[in-house]
Amino acid sequence: MKLFALLLALSGTAHADSLPQSIDFFADGRINLGLDLNFRENWNECQGNLNGNYVGLPCSTNRGMAPEFLDFLKANLFSCIDAGLAKVGGGKTTAVHVIHDGIIADENHESTSLHAVGRAIDILTLQVTIAGQAPRSFDFKDTSSNPDGVDRTFYEGFRACWGVVNDKRSCPQRDTGYPVGTIGWEDARHAGHHLHTSMPFCPNSNGHMITEYQF
């Protein structure tokens, strides 16, 4: 069982405890949303200025995610981290290590979840390398227990930026007042644990729109 759990975690599954069901959800999500199943991108977490690891495990050289989401992260993550840094003293991001709780959906997610199509990552901690400054680390779990703290202030700036990025893609706003693309302390399923960070369908060529909480 320990070996099975290790293999599952290495697959990058979000909140996973069943590899076969996780694979089914991943395939079903792409089919249900009318997407090509040949999508797996090998994110090498072990090198480059955008790197990371699944919590509690070493980095993977072939973390699976949708290729369009990896491109989206590369295009937008650093600028939104800089927006967060601007709220807590400033700085220019040169590299980031993302400690996450998974990318691929398990049975706790519906097949319409953005995790089911490899378009979401559950961020636990961002370890940021900053030009001319000491590295800084921002832990999402502290954003609920200490709403006036540095971590919460940073992630407020990060989330606002991520919302602007998705606004440019004609994404709707949520009833909660938080922009589409992140779910965090305002939702009991995420508060005090992780920041769901995604690239929603808003809309795409097939006309798909996201729901109020597509997690």
Taking the C-alpha atoms of residue 93 and residue 115, their distance in angstroms, rounded to an integer, is 26
Taking the C-alpha atoms of residue 111 and residue 60, their distance in angstroms, rounded to an integer, is 25
Q: What are phi and psi of 25, to 5 degrees?
A: -60, -40
pTM higher than 0.85, yes or no?
A: no
- 3-state SS assignment for residue 145: helix
Nearest CA to 54 out of 2, 108, 6 is that of: 6
Q: From first to last of its 215 residues, what are the pLDDT tens digits of the chain?
A: 333 333 334 444 443 322 223 333 334 344 444 444 444 557 899 999 999 999 899 998 888 888 888 988 999 999 999 999 999 999 999 999 999 988 875 545 555 567 777 888 999 999 999 999 999 999 999 998 899 999 999 999 999 999 888 777 667 666 677 777 888 887 777 777 889 898 876 654 444 444 433 43
Q: How far is CA 72 from CA 90, 108, 128, 143, in A?
A: 23, 25, 18, 25
